[in-house]
Amino acid sequence: MMRVPCQLNSARCLRMSEAWILAVLLVLARPASAARQPKPNAAGPPVPILELEGGRKLVYERSFGSEREVKPKRGFWNRLVDVVAGQPEFKNLIRPYSVAVDSRGRIIVTDPGAVGVHIFDFAQQKYKFIERRDKGKDAMLGPQCVAVDAQDNIYVTDSETGKIFVFNSSGKYERAIGSIKGGEGYFKRPTGIAVDSVAQRIYVTDTLRDQIFMLDMQGNILQKTGKRGDGEGEFNLPTELRLDGDNLIVVDAMNFRIQVLDRSGKFRYSIGQVGDTSGSVFRPKGVGVDSEGDLYIVDGLWGVVQVFNRQGDLLYYFGRRGTQAGEFQLPAGIFIDREDRIFVVDSFNRRIQVFHYFGLKKSTSGVGM
């Protein structure tokens, strides 16, 4: 540690020493309650375990919405610096929309309100924020949906600029897909995105064109699927996408349904309809698939997640409108990881809520019960 030559100015050094002593006393005198600020919505009744048919269950795990929750607990010297220099500013979710989880378990969240992308790495206690607001030709202005490939590269649709931004696994900008002469983007309103690393294909919905584009990894258009309508394989403002095996799952928002296509764009089946009866879907947003093949559909208006089998039967739902744990206000995206952890973007409550689905164990023959 560098020593300050106090003999040069004894009065000044005395004042500095007094200041540091006072700071130490203030830190030591702070009550434990002041050091540990309660998390938003931490109060309230615990979320009950949802017991399901056949021994299955759904368990609420936690919620988070700030960089602060990723960082380790601040020790004595960090708190001492906070008293003297002021507490650091932590990034918070403002208007989160879409979520994905990469192979390392990092949780990647698009945030149009913050005009960027949050990367939460709880295992390594690290956080990163990606933004490109002042970058001239290829500025990212309206990050919407996110997907990752097998190498954990990050793909973000930008509904405002009409482009797809690609970042490497460290969050470094690589390129923009759909950036054409003059700086404008090719897509009218790109929203949902899914990446097939094996086939080297990118799928993206252009919501205002009512189409799904299949691209190669360089961004060349290989195929267009769909048109405006309410028939099979037709769309009315399609939004989010999800790849599941040979299936391409599309949120057909204003037709109030989920359409399932094959990779070539051929219609297979649909789930949901408009109405106020059981199994109706009024404002479908995100969609996910668990290890048993059941589909999870976020309903933004009702504030619930509905779970359907592939025959279109409603199995159960969870959530309701509210601000407590397990409740949602304008939920949007959803992602289900390989461990059946369910990440729901609770947009208006500015947080991600995490649930865990425990299904039936596989039999020794490898066939599900």
116-164 pLDDT, tens per residue? 999 999 999 999 999 998 888 899 999 999 999 999 999 999 999 999 9
**Cα–Cα nearest to 224, from 265, 191, 193:** 265
Mean pLDDT of 100-108: 98
154-196 pLDDT, tens per residue? 999 999 999 999 999 999 999 999 998 777 899 999 999 999 9
287-344 pLDDT, tens per residue? 999 999 999 999 998 999 999 999 999 999 999 999 999 999 999 999 999 999 999 9
CA distance 349 to 352: 9
Helices and strands, counts by H and E, the chain: 3, 25
Burial degree of 76 (CB within 10 A; 0-12, 13-18, 19+)? exposed
CATH fold of the domain at 48-82+90-358: Neuraminidase (2.120.10)
Residue 366 above 50 pLDDT? Answer: no
Between 175 and 40, residue with greater pLDDT: 175
CA angle 363, 367, 369 (to 5 degrees): 70
Whole-number pLDDT of residue 74: 59
Find out whether 117 and 110 touch, Cβ atoms under 8 Å.
Answer: yes
Reduced to 3 states, what is the DSSP secondary structure of residue 96? coil
Q: What are phi and psi of 210, to 5 degrees?
A: 55, 45
**Long-range contacts of 211-216, Cβ-Cβ distance < 8 Å, separation of 24 or more:** 211/235, 211/238, 212/238, 212/241, 212/248, 212/250, 212/261, 212/265, 213/187, 214/265, 215/177
Reduced to 3 states, what is the DSSP secondary structure of residue 338? coil
How does DSSP classify residue 28? H
* Residues 6 or more apart in contact with residue 293 via CB below 8 angstroms: 244, 309, 310
Joined tokens for residue 56: 């299955």
Joined tokens for residue 78: 């960090």
Cα–Cα distances (Å) from 167 to 10, 154, 155, 161, in that order, read: 54, 5, 7, 16
The model's pTM is 0.84
**Cα–Cα nearest to 196, from 142, 258, 264, 140:** 264
The DSSP bridge partners found for residue 242 are 249
Cα–Cα distances (Å) from 150 to 66, 101, 205, 250, in that order, read: 27, 11, 21, 21
Which pLDDT band, with edges at 50, 70 and 90, does 31 fall under? Answer: very low
Residue 201 above 80 pLDDT? Answer: yes
Query: Domain-by-domain residue ranges, the chain?
Result: 48-82+90-358
Alpha helices by DSSP H, the chain: 10-29, 32-35, 76-85
